[in-house]
Amino acid sequence: MLPKEIISTAAIARRVAELSKEIDGRLPPGPLTVVGVLRGAFMFMADLVRAIPRPLTCDFLGVRSYGDATVSSGVVEITSDLASPIDGRHVLLIEDIADTGLTLRYLQDLLLARHPASLHTCVLLAKPTLPASIKIDFVGFEAPTAFVVGYGLDAAQLYRNLPYIGAIEPSKA
């Protein structure tokens, strides 16, 4: 049985188009380095970079904090680092979901230590319970309280291929 749709494919496409305009309008002019967090952000990032009307490069960070569980382990592990330096570059960090903020804060600190010209963050989904101290520049949608999958997000590596965002019971993950 497929997860219950909570954010449609059409709604995602509309919001990605809006975000690309917001990003292009608010970030400093010139080339951009977009850093996607693997694996969950890959679909969102692919759609977003195609819609941003400026020169850009793409890079990726592999990160693990959930494993196959439905709650964060509380430990962020880098599984794959950037392929290119970001020193002096305008960087846009793309994440699938900001839940506790632990991973996002860790990645912001990691990237800031590499001296980018600027660092901005964009998340597809942000939980309303996210601590106010977590800085996010661009948010696609407020995340529901349900466990979400689809459009790159997974439960034990399943459901990433859904074109929409759906909800499942954590016990079924």
What is this structure's pTM?
0.91
Given the residues 24, 99, 109, 137, select the one marked as catalytic: 99
Predicted local confidence at residue 73, as pLDDT = 54
The model's pLDDT over 14-26, given as tens digits with 9 standing for 90+, comes to: 999 999 999 999 9
- Is 130 a residue whose pLDDT tops 70? yes
The average pLDDT across 74-96 equals 94
Q: What angle do CA 140, 109, 121 make, to 5 degrees?
A: 15
Q: Which domains does the chain have, with CATH numbers?
A: 4-168 (3.40.50.2020)
The average pLDDT across 24-29 equals 96
Answer yes or no: 24 catalytic: no
Predicted local confidence at residue 173, as pLDDT = 54
Report d(CA 57, CA 35) in Å as an integer: 9
Predicted local confidence at residue 71, as pLDDT = 54
The average pLDDT across 145-157 equals 93
Percent of the chain, pLDDT > 90? Answer: 79
| Bridge pairing between strands 165-168 and 147-149 | antiparallel
Q: What's the pLDDT band for 72 if we cut at 50, 70, 90? A: low
Report d(CA 56, CA 77) in Å as an integer: 27
Q: Are 125 and 165 in contact (CB under 8 A)?
A: yes
Mean pLDDT of the chain: 92
